[in-house]
Each structure stands twice: as structure tokens, then as C-alpha cells.
A and B are shown apart, each in its own frame.
Chain A
């Protein structure tokens, strides 16, 4: 295989001979020389187009054009260095902006607050057979099922449960606040340890199986509702008219 094909002047000579042969044949048929040459050229078609097409048909044509483009590009840069500088600066700015925004979004939205996201899973129950609760894929687990799963699991280190419910804080508030009723290992499973104030659930509160009246407020709620009151710890928060 000839990697770059033939040289252009080699092809030009071949085409010249081709047309000469046609001219000669036409003259043998009785045409005057000038007319014979024109007729042969007509039969051949456009020589420039043919040469271009042959160039395109070469095996490494793409490499050739790539090299040409690179040379043309560097020539343009040398001719207009200011324009090139502006283009480079624009592109650098664009790339930088993108990277910055991605970094921000990655940190704020995409990365979860979980300690070790790779080993964190969400368990969905799927019940088979007759389910009294209706939708077998509702994602709800009974308290007994959760405790049974937590006892029996071998692949999961710890299993936490939550139930989302909204409620009204204190007595006369009109805004419903989203809340979760959680199992007491909830924060431990999430790997949350640092609090602005107060404490998370205690061991002895976890030891008893009944519901405990301990509330953890989000920092946002603490600031909005209680004006970041430092004496919030120890106060009884009324939730849906219960403590």
C-alpha cells in the first residue's frame, strides 16, 4: 500500500497522456486537430475537479488535510497575535467559568451529606401476596418489619427507618413544618455528629423501644423560627399540640 498515494505531478502527466490519446483517436476519425483536442477534453471532464477527487481518495488524505489545517492555523496566529490572544482568553474564561460552576454545584447539590456514599443504600420493601395496606410498592414498612430486618441483615451494617410527616410547631403557628419521625440510629447511620447546639439521641433513649420525645431541629429552622436563640436546648417544642 502506498501511504500517501501518488504525487500530484505524476497524476497530471497521466491525465495529459489520457487526453492526448483521446485527441489522437478523434483525429484518426477525421476531426481537425483543434476540434479533436477539445472533444477529448470534453470527454474527460474537469481536470481540476478530477485532481481534487483523486487527492481525496488517497489513503491518508485526512492526515494530509489535518497537517494543512495546522499549518494554516499557526500562520493565522502569527499574522494576528492580538486576535489569537483574545480568542485564547475567551476560551480560558469559558472553561474556567464552567469548572467553577461545576465545583460549586458538585459541592452544594450533588455530594450527599452521607459519610461514605458508596456503601450507603436505600432499602425499599416489596411485598408479595395479599397486602392489606394496598399498594405493595408503597415503600412503607411496618415497625415490626423494620426491626426484623435490622436484626436479620448481614450485608448492611446498620439500618435506620424514617417516616415523614408534617406538623405544626408550638400552639398558634399556621405554617406546617416538614418533619421526620426516625429510628434513633438515624443520625448515626448518616454519619452526622456535629451539631450547632445540644445533642443527638442518647444511648439510653435508644435502649427503650417506645417513642421518645427528643427533637432535633435543622439549623435553618432554628434560625428562622427561633431567631437562633442560644437557649433553645432544653425548651419543650410543641409539635402538633404534643411536646
Chain B
């Protein structure tokens, strides 16, 4: 059901990438499919759009990329979360939580307040 997929909000892709790397180094294909899979195929990620984001994050020192060998004995570039990346992820997560909560309050006000 590709029609039901949601375009990512501007700026959220960086946060999602950092989140997928929490449990260890991963390569680009794994990151893309993980975002799609864990969102129950709701989030639409064009795999190519991942790479500019990875370049940006690596340039900012939040992740670190190194060539390694994939599970099928092929070469793949693995990205690892740096210390700065973990810190940024924690900050982004709490910012995101507060934003979701605030937007939800506006969009779905409690019944008793409707008067």
C-alpha cells in the first residue's frame, strides 16, 4: 500500500538515522530498511536520500563511517554513532517528544475543555 505512506518531515531523517545506530554500526541499506520495517512500512524513505544525510552527519562528527564486510561477504560502509552523536540523539529525542505532545494537545483537546 504505497499510497498510504507518509513523507518524512523535514529534519526528522537525521534523528531516525541516529536512532537506528544505537545498537551498533550499520550500513546504509540496513538503515533504510530498518526505518521502513520498524515504522510498519508507513515511513517512505527513498534509499538514495539517506546518503546526503549520512554525509551531513559524518561531516558534523555525529557518526563515523568505515568500510567493512557485510553478512553476505560483500564490502559495505558501516556507520557508527560517535559520542557527540549519542548526545545529539538524546537531545533530539526529548525535543521530538515535547513537540509531539504539544501538537497532540492542540489537535485533540480534552473533551471537558470544549465547553
Contacts and interface: CB of A to CB of B under 8 A. Distances in A.
A180 interface: no
A11 B59 contact: no
Contacts of B101: none
B46 interface: yes
Interface stretch (B68-76, B88-96, B103-111): B68-76
Interface residues of B, number: 23
Nearest to A24: B72
A236 interface: no
A22 B58 contact: no
B52 A21 contact: no
B51 A54 contact: yes
Interface residues of A, number: 28
A17 B75 CA distance: 7
A20 to B, nearest CB: 7
A57 B48 CA distance: 13
Interface string A55-76: 0111100000000000000000
A5 B76 CA distance: 17
Contacts of A2: 58-59
20 contacts: A5-B59, A14-B28, A15-B51, A17-B29, A17-B74, A17-B77, A18-B28, A18-B29, A18-B47, A21-B70, A21-B74, A44-B47, A45-B48, A53-B51, A53-B52, A54-B55, A57-B52, A57-B55, A57-B59, A58-B59
